[in-house]
Structure 1
Amino acid sequence: MATETRTLHLTRLHLGPRSRTAHRDLRDAHLMHRRIMSLYPDQMSDGTRARAELGVLYRIERDRHATTVLIQSPLAPDTAALPADYLATPPQSRTLGPLLDWLTDGATVRYRIDATPTRAIATQDRRPDGKRKPGKRTPLFGADAVAWWDRQAHTAGLDPQLILDTPQTPATGNRDGHRVRHSLTRFEGIATITDTTALRAALTTGIGRGRAYGAGLLSLAPITG
């Protein structure tokens, strides 16, 4: 399938601790989305459709010393388009071709993903055409979130042996006058690959909702020896 042969670039951006622009983007998920999309050719439709068409995924990682943005996409981002003080160090980039080629059913990997576990609450409300309206989505936490990820992982070709769940800073912001909010949970641990084709597709397209706002990027590292 096409996703197996696509080139994927992984770019690591260490944000400048004194950059006001970077701090502003970190406070508003929609501004961060727009900043990342500005690193790609301005030839696609605006908004989340452009992100999907370009295949851009990203994840924000914070620790006591630095904030890092990981960006994955088939096309390498033009990091020269970032403001002068936006980065603390030069960007780091590599292709994921060797990883995609290495994936094999039965292999063991470490994984990490920030995701937005949700479920739809059933409703009796109906549209003018008589069809039932989709239920309102509500975030999941704790054991419910872990069960959600276990289902998603199996669909993506992974059988988790270890699942660690850590709530992350929610992705919040404003888009066209509407409040954006996605609750994020980081799932990481160890898993066995059960379906290489499904896993390559999940790596390329992402998993779950909120992919325009820092969710859905699945990272893998082989466990050998």
Structure 2
Amino acid sequence: MYLSRFIVDPARRGARKLLASPQAMHAAIRGAFADPADYERADARTLWRLDTAAVGILHLYIVSPGQPDLTHMVAQAGRGTAEAWQTRAYGGLLASLQPGQQWAFRLTANPTHSGRKTADSKETQRFGHLRPEQQTQWLIDRSARCGFTVATQQNNEPNVGLHHRQTQTFRRGAGTVTLTTVTYDGLLDITDADAFRHTLSLGIGHGKAYGCGLLTIAPTR
């Protein structure tokens, strides 16, 4: 597994095209892997997330089974410098995970629930959770199977904050996709190291091709 960080230059026309459509960004990232096994395997898949690092600076994080070649993205949307992107092996971190460890985390996800299209319909579809308390509970409900618990604060409230809550609509082929997304920042405690490694390698929730599901961790301060 590999973790890459790519610096996006939003002043470039190509970058603005990618930023306007998760489908276009997905296609560009997919183009970084000549071997399909480097993009997706049974035990790992490519996940990505956009983070705002500072005013006018965006970081694209990619976790992937194989090492990507992002040269084409530098030409289209990056900074033409030696630091345009960095890739590091991810296996050492995955191997070091143990139950009881606490980490700071960030996750952009597509929190959804299933429901009927109409009151008398037998067909169901996914709907995005829109209220903050629903979005927080969505993550808590999935944490146990993902190998962690969300830490609690002194007031027993979940130690997690929500930001960049939005609903995006973009084209995919002849149709459109509507995606409700939210970014979570907080603290977690590992309860099952194998399940947690699985989560870091395969993501959480739906919309993974469109910048959702990538959980990253960092040491607590």
Whether TM-score is above 0.5 comes out as yes
Which amino acid letter does the alignment assign opposite residue 50 of structure 2?
I
Equivalent in 189, 193, 200 of residue 192 of structure 1 = 189
Instruction: Identify the residue that residue 172 of structure 1 maps to in structure 2.
Output: 169
Instruction: Identify the residue that residue 30 of structure 2 maps to in structure 1.
Output: 37
Is 2:69 the partner of 1:78?
A: yes
CA contact (8 A) 2:111 2:129 kept: yes
More strand per residue:
2
Instruction: Identify the residue that residue 119 of structure 1 maps to in structure 2.
Output: 113
Give the stretch that moved more between structures: 92-101 or 210-219: 92-101
CA contact (8 A) 2:9 2:56 kept: no
CA contact (8 A) 1:110 1:222 kept: yes
List aligned pairs for 1:1-225, cutoff 5 A.
8-41=1-34, 55-62=45-52, 63-84=54-75, 86-88=77-79, 89-122=83-116, 132-161=122-151, 162-223=159-220
Using the TM superposition, give the Cα deviation of residue 203 of structure 1 relative to its aligned residue in structure 2, in angstroms: 0.6
Using the TM superposition, give the Cα deviation of residue 169 of structure 1 relative to its aligned residue in structure 2, in angstroms: 4.7
CA contact (8 A) 1:125 1:133 kept: no
Figure out how many residues of one structure are paired with residues of the other and give that number: 207
CA contact (8 A) 1:121 1:138 kept: no
Q: Tell me how far apart the structure 2 counterparts of residues 200 and 173 of structure 1 sit (CA, whole Å).
A: 32
Instruction: Identify the residue that residue 5 of structure 1 maps to in structure 2.
Output: none
CA contact (8 A) 1:115 1:209 kept: yes
The change in CA–CA distance for 1:178 and 1:51 in structure 2 (over 3 A counts) is farther
The change in CA–CA distance for 1:168 and 1:135 in structure 2 (over 3 A counts) is closer
| TM-score, normalised relative to structure 2 | 0.85
User: Which runs of 5 or more structure 1 residues have no equivalent in the other structure?
Assistant: 1-7, 45-49, 127-131
The change in CA–CA distance for 1:28 and 1:169 in structure 2 (over 3 A counts) is same
The Cα offsets for residues 32-71 of structure 1, whole Å up to 9 and x where unpaired, read as 1111111111658xxxxx7677711000112423011101
CA contact (8 A) 2:48 2:62 kept: yes
Using the TM superposition, give the Cα deviation of residue 223 of structure 1 relative to its aligned residue in structure 2, in angstroms: 3.4
Which amino acid letter does the alignment assign opposite residue 30 of structure 1?
Q
CA contact (8 A) 2:110 2:128 kept: no
Using the TM superposition, give the Cα deviation of residue 157 of structure 1 relative to its aligned residue in structure 2, in angstroms: 1.0
| TM-score, normalised relative to structure 1 | 0.83
Which amino acid letter does the alignment assign opposite residue 133 of structure 1?
E
Q: Secondary structure at the match of 1:202?
A: helix
The change in CA–CA distance for 1:51 and 1:24 in structure 2 (over 3 A counts) is farther
Using the TM superposition, give the Cα deviation of residue 93 of structure 1 relative to its aligned residue in structure 2, in angstroms: 1.2
Give the stretch that moved more between structures: 134-143 or 200-209: 134-143
The change in CA–CA distance for 1:135 and 1:177 in structure 2 (over 3 A counts) is closer
